[in-house]
Structure 1
Amino acid sequence: MDSQNQVYGLPRLNEPAPQFTANTTHGPKSLGDYRGRWLILFSHPADFTPVCTTEFMAFAKAHKDFQAIGCDLLGLSIDSLFSHLAWTRNIKEKFGVEIPFPVIDDLSMKVAKAYGMIHPEAGDTSAVRATFVIDPEGILRAMVYYPMTNGRSVAEFLRLVTALQTSDAKGVATPESWKPGDMAIVPPPRTAADAEARAKKGYEYTDWYFCKTAA
């Protein structure tokens, strides 16, 4: 690992997410506050920027959908609490959208560095568009990075959390563009006997390694 990666951190999937305690627009928050619920922690380059504004409005409009699946939202940028408050108030005034989730004040870059959100070669020391999905046990389950110039699809993160919950509950994998109601993928067999028996287990059978089941 090179020195830059050591400085800015590289969180890893299926390991505990980095702990943090930070001031937010909803008061102090820590990772432990979200224990028992799913969490999407997402960063944006800066307040009062147009692409970030569209993302925040999209997350705000989908907030009830995330809540319905037991998932909270938490934003972050390397801006002050006062900047966050001014920006979220501006979004409400100019666009009629109220931001219902907290936004972390991270002027120290402590949280951003812990999660590897700072990519100097992407532009400057602003946080890139990073998104982290953390499960109820505090385990990092997914992370996605976007460039400064392009906004995220909020609907994809809602789909992703739902897919992860389905995989956990049913012991299945989900195919490309899976959504609730679609068939899921049966995990590959682990023994020759299991592979041989696949055709007789009642799955939607294509071959020993490719079977689907209701999720």
Structure 2
Amino acid sequence: MTIQLGQTAPDFRQESTHGEIRFHEWLGSSWGLLFSHPKNFTPVCTTELGEVARLRPEWDRRDVKPIGLSVDPVEAHHKWEADIEETQKARPDFPMIADPAAKVSALYGMIHPESDPVLTVRSLFVIDPSKKIRLILTYPPSTGRNFHEVLRAIDSLQLTDTRSIATPANWSPGEPVVISPKLSDEEAKRQFPQGYRTLKPYLRLVDLETSIR
């Protein structure tokens, strides 16, 4: 199964370190971060789970619920959590899905046909409160995921969902944003009375600090 942006995230019921998860029900009205690992007790993923745990205040500030997944059973997840706490000084406080039959992995297209058929690839999905998939990232085994980039992308998604704007390359919160080309100059002036800069008719930049309502 191929998952694409804008599709509804597939629902599922699966065991986890926090008990049975009914995914859509568990998400509720929050954003979700679903990320997979090839297997337990792997070095790169150990550092990633520790980082997600350390970033708990940032997920909470954005109303994002993180949830991990591996093909190993729940018992192995709990043992891995102890290793993560020992080596990373942070214990995961979010659920880790046990997917030994690769049910969820197949549902989300996490197993690459050219890869080991029993291991998930390192995929990451950001899901919005309407259960739509908004971001998909897949990393190679040798490269740890940059969760600060994930936070930046979520900031962009949450900001642009409420305004007729987009965020430019390398954008960080507080920096100028791009006004949608769909807005006429008249409408842009109405929505952004503080003024904006026109570099080209299709490229207009605005500082939002004084205009967020």
Deviation of 1:49 after TM superposition, in Å, equals 0.6
In structure 2, the partner of 1:18 is 10
**Which range moved further: 118-127 or 52-61?**
118-127
Assess if the C-alpha contact under 8 Å between 2:50 and 2:89 holds in 1: no
1:175 aligns with 2:168: yes
CA distance in 2, matches of 1:197, 1:71: 32
Could you tell me which amino acid in structure 1 is paired with residue 20 of structure 2? P
Equivalent position SS for 2:59: helix
In structure 1, the partner of 2:21 is 29
Please give the residue correspondences for 1:132-143 in structure 2 after superposition, counting only pairs within 5 Å. 132-143=125-136
In structure 2, the partner of 1:152 is 145
Deviation of 1:118 after TM superposition, in Å, equals 0.4
Q: How many residues align?
A: 204
Assess if the C-alpha contact under 8 Å between 1:39 and 1:135 holds in 2: yes
In structure 1, the partner of 2:211 is none
Deviations 1:36-70 (A, max 9, x none): 10000000111101011111111111121111111
The percentage of aligned residue pairs carrying the same residue is 35
Equivalent position SS for 2:16: coil
In structure 2, the partner of 1:52 is 45
Q: Which of 34, 37, 40 is the matching residue for 2:33?
A: 40
Q: For the aligned residues, what is the CA RMSD?
A: 1.9
Unaligned 5+ segments in structure 1 are 1-8
Assess if the C-alpha contact under 8 Å between 2:47 and 2:84 holds in 1: no
TM-score computed with the length of structure 1 as normaliser: 0.88
**Which range moved further: 133-142 or 58-67?**
58-67
TM-score computed with the length of structure 2 as normaliser: 0.89
In structure 2, the partner of 1:4 is none
CA distance in 2, matches of 1:197, 1:169: 16
Deviation of 1:125 after TM superposition, in Å, equals 2.7
CA distance in 1, matches of 2:174, 2:203: 19
1:102 aligns with 2:82: no
Could you tell me which amino acid in structure 2 is paired with residue 127 of structure 1? T
Deviation of 1:197 after TM superposition, in Å, equals 8.5
Could you tell me which amino acid in structure 1 is paired with residue 96 of structure 2? V
Assess if the C-alpha contact under 8 Å between 2:124 and 2:137 holds in 1: yes
Deviation of 1:93 after TM superposition, in Å, equals 3.0
In structure 2, the partner of 1:121 is 114
In structure 1, the partner of 2:196 is 203
Q: Which of 201, 205, 208 is the matching residue for 1:212?
A: 205
Distance 1:68-1:149 versus aligned 2 partners, 3 A rule:
same
Assess if the C-alpha contact under 8 Å between 1:35 and 1:137 holds in 2: no
Could you tell me which amino acid in structure 2 is paired with residue 11 of structure 1? I
1:82 aligns with 2:75: yes
In structure 2, the partner of 1:3 is none
Unaligned 5+ segments in structure 2 are 209-213
Equivalent position SS for 1:181: coil
Distance 1:211-1:82 versus aligned 2 partners, 3 A rule:
same
